[in-house]
Amino acid sequence: MANWSNTDKGMLIVISGPSGVGKGTLCKILLNRVENLFLSISATTRPPRPGEIDGRDYIFLSRELFEEKIKKGEFLEWAKVYNNYYGTPKDIVFQQLRDGKDVVLEIDTQGAAQVKNNYPEGIFIFISPPSIKELKKRIIKRGSDTESSIELRMKSAIDEIKAASEYDYIVLNDDLNQAALNLQSIVLAERCKVSRNTKIVLKLREEFGNDASVN
Ligand code: 5GP
């Protein structure tokens, strides 16, 4: 049943998928195409890669500081991915949602499961590769991983893919244009839900009242 309040909160959109599936590229296209969408900047303890900027790509923190923030409950979710901590700052995301902004989290499946527990009204989208073979090909082609890191990423890819059934939507990234269109369509369709547009519905009720006759 819809909650007929007068204030519509933003949507929390969670996007996950195995490393190398192209979720970063898809998120970028989504943010370029759809207005009023904001990407949450995660905190991490992994060192910046060349070209990455603190506060734009990630908030880079020391392990000590990250652990302190975990203790203080400052993350909406956090996880250890490939031996580094990653987490979503809670206050910023909740403030944006309260302001009616739609927020995208690009996080791993462990983190997404925590968000689902703490915030079940989120929208959960899984980006899937066409096959394991194709995923491996893409990770190798990326050229930024050592052989052992490729093996590690492939192992965790299998765990991530097992979690796909917990999501609301699945986007197969076989053809990038089609995948981007599907992702965009999901977000736009979710925005059109009656339960997210209570202000419009209330306005219509006020304007039209119970009298449907127009003279
Ligand atoms: P990378 O180091 O390649 O930028 O990211 C590695 C993995 O960490 C990716 O699967 C990415 O989605 C995930 N990740 C990035 N930020 C967060 C976060 O805030 N929380 C969680 N749980 N995972 C994250």
- Least confident stretch, 75-89, 129-143, 171-185: 129-143
Whether 54 and 206 have beta carbons less than 8 Å apart is answered as: no
For the segment 127-154, the average pLDDT, to the nearest whole number, is: 86
- Report CA-CA distances (Å) from 178 to 140, 190, 191: 23, 18, 20
* pLDDT greater at residue 77 or residue 82: 77
Contacts of 188 (CB under 8 A, 6+ apart): 34
For residue 118, the CA-to-ligand 1 centroid distance in Å is: 19
Position 162, amino acid = K
Atom of ligand 1 nearest to the CA of 111: 22
Bridging pattern class, strands 84-89 and 43-44: antiparallel
Name which residue sits closest to atom 14 of ligand 1, judged by CA. 107
Give the residue among 55, 10, 28 at the shortest CA–CA distance from 127: 28
For residue range 143-181, list pLDDT tens digits in order: 777 888 888 888 889 999 999 999 999 999 999 999 999
205 CB-contact burial (10 Å; exposed 0-12 / middle 13-18 / buried 19+): exposed
Measured distance CA(35)–CA(181) in Å, rounded: 15
Whether 76 and 93 have beta carbons less than 8 Å apart is answered as: yes
Q: Does ligand 1 have an atom closer than 6 angstroms to the CB of 102?
A: no
The superfamily CATH assigns to domain 12-40+102-208 is P-loop containing nucleotide triphosphate hydrolases (3.40.50.300)
- pLDDT computed for residue 4 by the predictor: 44
Chain-centre distance of CA 62, in angstroms?
24
For residue 133, the CA-to-ligand 1 centroid distance in Å is: 22
Name which residue sits closest to atom 21 of ligand 1, judged by CA. 107
